[in-house]
Structure 1
Amino acid sequence: MKKWIRIIIPVCAVMVLIVACINLGSIFMEYNRGVQEYKNLQEYVKEEHPQIPARPEEEDDFLVPEIDFEALKARNGDFRYWLYIPALEVNYPVVQGADNEIYLYRTFEGETNSAGCIFLDAGNSPDLTDRNTVIYGHNMKNHSMFGSLKEFLQNEELAEESPYFYLYTEERAVRYRIVSYYTTVSGSDTYQSVYTDEEYDGYLKMTLQKSQYKGYQEEFTEGRPDMVTLSTCHGKAGGTGRFVVHGVVDEIREWE
């Protein structure tokens, strides 16, 4: 009996190792497919192009890429914007489904993948006219999608050195200035709708009280500029933890 035990235990260990390697290989291949798909989509976004008139100042730091919106819409009718976060090199299309489940595990091209897609909350207006627009993305281990968003937490100077992110629509380019970021949980007040000036003031106060960002200045939110909230998972996989970044409209430019 002892002889058989000495044989069975190593065999079982080898089988477990083989299964683990197969699973890891499958996960790696899935991650790679997702990364490659979105890398291919970036071919529709070229380097800066003078589609928007520059400001009179000699130096203009407003980033303006050339984007083939028609081609992207042809590939996916749910396409709404292109999102760019320079500090993190986040560079992805944003879609909007009929609900918030559709793109959790479906890529821009419609493939089943744990990376899913960056997507706009189904309840938000797609024309960026809401007081607070929420955009979701997975916290991927390979830092794709919103996996790098947590770098704002890890490096306090990052948002101060590069405080902007952009949403490019067919009509305009909108630059947002980061005013707050923090950890929260799903279903918290962070995800409430904002309609009135009074609600806006209360919401802004709440985000600033929770914020771990030290670069906010009151002048950033004068006039109650519309807000965009970027949201991703945080902490243990499958948990309720969330990490959010709030930005307010800093500048808008119309395409020529």
Structure 2
Amino acid sequence: MKKKYGLMILSSLLLVQIFYYYNVVSAQRKDVKVPESALVQTTANDKEVKKTMATTKITEENRLFVRNEAAKYYDLNPDYMGWLNIADTAIDYPVVRGEDNDYYLKHNFYKEEDVLGTIFMDYRNAGMGLDKHTILYGHYAKYGQMFKDLDRYLSEDFLSEHSEFIFSDPFTKRTYKIFSVHPSDANVDFINVTFEDNEFSNFIDTLKNESIFSLDTPVSAEDNILTLVTCNYDVNDGRLFIHAVEITE
């Protein structure tokens, strides 16, 4: 009998340890391992190279090869699609795209199992600025990682001061300006990526009407838009949608 109770106690302790690890330690790690930011400042050597290239007649003999900055991220993960940065937030992450929208929910940039996942593009998107509607997803993490800081856009003051953000693909630094912010249920209508005839124009109108703030950011059917999506716990099975239009010059 004593042996039976002893085994029951040990089993209970083991279950408590497993619960603690997955719900406290793993699920809310305060450290997130990501590559060094792609948005680095130009160095003095870079400036000298550019100056030399601008003032020197390029021939086959003196042609300079400058490796694309994105190449090092492709070396780490061929699923790399770009880098997302929102000023004054923790959102400064590489973006990947998987074969579906499930894999990177549980794997980090290095393809290691990780409850925080990584920021990923909808698998239906082509990337490189070719899509009418690009969608980026990220977990809402309690201690500020991934897309937790998106909920700061529920403050109109924060939105007015941070209405623009950068998503750089491997060849172009792209700037986006927010035109709609709204929490909602997990409505698939907000993540459409293919449109026919005037559907895209109607889609934009819908997103504007859903916004909890009245924003005067101009956006038309000729523009490309990008949506950031994370969880929102103010709504049952809720999501927070941040919609922005590309304004790259």
Q: Which residue of 2 aligns with 1:59?
A: none
Partner of 1:123: 124
Residue pair 2:84, 2:92 contacting (<8 A) in 1 also: yes
1:163 aligns with 2:156: no
* In structure 1, C-alpha distance between the alignment counterparts of 2:225 and 2:21, rounded to whole Å: 40
Q: TM-score, normalised by structure 1?
A: 0.75
Match of 2:57 in 1: none
Which residue matches 1:244?
241
Change in Cα spacing, 1:68 to 1:104, as seen in structure 2 (3 Å) is: same
Tell me, in whole angstroms, the C-alpha distance in 1 between the residues paired with 2:213 and 2:88. 15
Deviation of 1:188 after TM superposition, in Å, equals 3.2
Partner of 1:203: 203
- Measured on the aligned residues, the alpha-carbon RMSD in Å equals 3.1
Distance change in 2, residues 1:88/1:17 (3 Å): farther
Out of 38, 59, 72, the position equivalent to 1:45 is: 38
Secondary structure of the residue aligned to 2:150 is: coil
Contact 1:175 1:251 in 2 (8 A): yes
Q: C-alpha separation between the residues in 1 aligned to 2:198 and 2:90? A: 35
Q: CA deviation at 1:196?
A: 4.2
Aligned-pair CA distance for 1:170: 1.9
In the superposition, relative to structure 1, how do residues 17 and 243 fare at CA in structure 2: closer, same or farther (>3 Å)?
farther
Q: Does 1:149 align with 2:146?
A: no
Cα distance, 1:48–1:223 mapped onto 2, change above 3 Å: farther
Q: 1:221 aligns with which of 219, 222, 231?
A: 219
Matched to 2:227, the amino acid is: T
How does the TM-score come out when normalised to structure 2?
A: 0.77
Work out the CA distance in 2 between the residues paired with 1:103 and 1:222.
32
1-side partners of 2:125 and 2:216: how far apart?
Answer: 27
Q: Which residue in the other structure is 1:30 paired with?
A: 26
Query: Relative to 1, partners in 2 of residues 1:46 and 1:169: Cα closer, same or farther, differing over 3 Å?
Result: closer
Letter in 2 for 1:209: N
> 2:156 aligns to what SS in structure 1?
coil
Letter in 2 for 1:217: D
Distance 1:44 1:208 in 2: 32
- Secondary structure in structure 2 of the residue aligned to 1:35: coil
Contact 2:84–2:168 (CA<8 Å) still a contact in 1? yes
Counterpart in the other structure of 2:139: 138
Q: Does structure 2 retain, via aligned residues, the 8 Å contact 1:44–1:68?
A: no
How many pairs align?
A: 222
Query: Which has the higher mean CA deviation after the structures are superposed, 228-237 or 241-250?
Result: 228-237
What is the percent sequence identity of the aligned residues? 24
Deviations 1:40-80 (A, max 9, x none): x1x25353338899xxxxxxxxxxxxx93111110101001
CA contact (8 A) 2:128 2:171 kept: no
Question: Larger % of strand: which?
Answer: 1
Pair 1:77 & 2:75 matched: no
C-alpha distance in 1, partners of 2:193/2:78? 26
Give the deviation of 1:231 after TM superposition. Answer: 0.5
Structure 1: how far apart are the matches of 2:173 and 2:115?
30
Q: Aligned partner of 2:176: which letter?
A: Y
| Residue segments in structure 2 that go unaligned for 5+ positions in a row | 51-67
Deviation digits for residues 127-178 of structure 1, max 9, x if unmatched? Answer: 221111111101111121011111111x211111111111111211000001
Which secondary structure state, in structure 2, belongs to the residue aligned with residue 103 of structure 1?
A: helix
Find the aligned partners of 2:16 and 2:166 in 1 and give their Cα distance. Answer: 40
Cα distance in 2, alignment partners of residues 103 and 236 from structure 1: 24
